[in-house]
């Protein structure tokens, strides 16, 4: 049985809602992070989300049934290398059993809309060149290569 069938198909889709993230969602967010990556969120991740929750940043969760099944986090950065202020989506994840169901698309659209309303003219994100699935996702949502190039200096091997 496919994932969509497991969730009850269209009935489950109708259950999907989005709302602003709250402090009470942070444990569920950390669990989804871990389910997707196999590792706990890095130091400072939770505190950063918490600050954005308090300041009304572009942080949202998807609720499927009654549980948090995905999240997105975006913010405006206006200090980077003389570039004009831009929105950044720095976290987006969907619980594995809710992927390929439109959840990521809905979350991203909500964050992009919040950042657009906050006045930026561009929204950026960063994706590993090797992560073809996530690249496909962002391209499908209209993201293309931006005007800046990331440069890095590594110590004893390529950082991942």
Ligand X SMILES: CC(C)(COP(=O)(O)OP(=O)(O)OC[C@H]1O[C@@H](n2cnc3c(N)ncnc32)[C@H](O)[C@@H]1OP(=O)(O)O)[C@@H](O)C(=O)NCCC(=O)NCCS
Among 39, 133, 144, 153, binds ligand X (CB under 6 A): 133
Between 18 and 91, CB nearer to ligand X: 91
Q: By rule CB under 6 A, what count of residues binds ligand X?
A: 17
Between 54 and 105, CB nearer to ligand X: 105
Q: Does 99 bind ligand X (CB under 6 A)?
A: yes
Neighbours of 62 (CB within 10 A): 25
Nearest-5° Cα angle at 119, 90 to 83: 65
Interface mask toward ligand X for 45-84; x: CB under 6 A: ----------------------------------------
Closest CA to 42 of 50, 34, 54: 34
Among 100, 121, 142, 148, binds ligand X (CB under 6 A): 100
Smallest distance from the beta carbon of 21 to ligand X, in angstroms? 15
Q: Directed axis angle between helix 26-37 and helix 45-55, to 10°?
A: 140
> Token pair of 98, please?
């809710």
Helix (H, G, I), strand (E, B) or coil at 156: coil
Neighbours of 7 (CB within 10 A): 19
Name the site residues for ligand X (rule: CB under 6 A): 36, 91-94, 99-105, 133-134, 136-137, 140
């Amino acid at each position: 049985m496919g994932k969509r069938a497991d969730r009850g198909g269209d009935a489950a889709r109708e259950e999907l809602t989005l709302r602003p993230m709250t402090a009470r969602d942070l444990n569920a967010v950390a669990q989804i992070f871990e389910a997707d990556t196999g590792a706990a969120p890095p130091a400072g991740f939770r505190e950063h989300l918490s600050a954005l929750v308090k300041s009304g940043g572009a942080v949202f969760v998807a609720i499927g049934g009654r549980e948090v099944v995905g999240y997105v986090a975006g913010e405006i950065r206006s200090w980077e290398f003389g570039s004009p202020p831009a929105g950044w989506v720095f976290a987006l994840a969907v619980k594995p059993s809710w992927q390929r169901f439109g959840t990521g698309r809905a979350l991203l659209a909500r964050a992009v809309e919040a950042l657009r309303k906050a006045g930026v003219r561009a929204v950026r994100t960063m994706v590993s060149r090797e992560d073809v699935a996530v690249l496909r996702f962002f391209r499908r949502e209209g993201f293309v290569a931006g005007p800046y190039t990331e440069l890095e200096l590594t110590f004893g091997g390529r950082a991942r």
